Amino acid sequence: MNLEEFPEPIKKDIEDQSLSILEYIADDIIVIGGWAVRALTGDKHGRYTLDIDGVTKQKNMKKVESVLGPLGMDVRKSEWGIQFYQRYKPQAKVTKDMQKEIETLELRIEISGPRIKESQTHHYFEFSLTDFLEREIQYHMKNEKVKIRVPSVEHMAAVKLGLPVDYKNNFDSQVLLEICNLEKVVEIIKLNDDWSEMVIRRIPKLIGRLNDKNRLEHILAINNDINIKEHIKTMKYIEDKLKSKCL
């Protein structure tokens, strides 16, 4: 079961609990992933997000660990970075049919260095740790906001287009490209270790899934008033620009 299938109160509770953890380390990381898209696009980001993804300097890892450890978060270390996690303890009402699914949920924060590596190839995408925007995210159940640091809209769109194809990356790229300078997106893709290869490989899959009426990204696009035909034109424009560079 993905997060979108849970009842609304549960989804809001999960996000609020995640935000309350993020607040402790917001000055120590650049937030990427779904939470960055939310901060950049606001209400247009019509999906919920579970994990918090961030990048930081290597020397900040210990500091983040020293902050999150006392909050009861466990640690999983890997080649790419550190995952902090704890079991989700719902503050919202859970029905009996949801209980088993809820018991498997974890709140997770995944933090790495600024270079995000593609798992199947040698390619990478590198975020700047000094060039960022400051944005705010509103809690659902209280009138407070968390101030975070995020990459530019164009950097987030560029990385999302080259990541593995799933409904989250597909939908996120849709809402980002609606407010992007497309020429900047193409330029950023080209500058990142030929991230072009990843984007060219994945755009046809993104388009195929978006055209499939049974796919969640198609449903999310319709529900959020995204013009699918125009978005596909935009992705094909980016693909053509990148292919012309590769010839």
Q: Supply φ then ψ for residue 64, to 5 degrees.
A: -60, -40
Q: What pTM, to 2 d.p., does this model score?
A: 0.92
CATH assignment of 1-151, among 3.30.720, 1.10.510, 3.30.460, 2.60.40: 3.30.460
CA distance 158 to 57: 22
pLDDT tens across 120-149, in order?
Answer: 777 889 999 999 999 999 999 999 999 999
CA distance 18 to 23: 9
Annotate 82-104 with b (16+ C-beta within 10 A) or e (fewer).
Answer: bbbbbebebebebeeebeeebee
Given pLDDT bands bounded at 50, 70 and 90, which one contains residue 245?
low
pLDDT tens across 3-56, in order?
Answer: 888 999 999 999 999 999 999 999 999 999 999 999 999 989 999 998 999 999
Q: Longest Cα pair distance anywhere in the chain, in angstroms?
A: 58
Mention every residue, 6+ apart, whose C-beta is less than 8 A from residue 8. Answer: none
Determine the average pLDDT of the residues in 141-170.
95
CATH 3.30.460 domain extents, the chain: 1-151
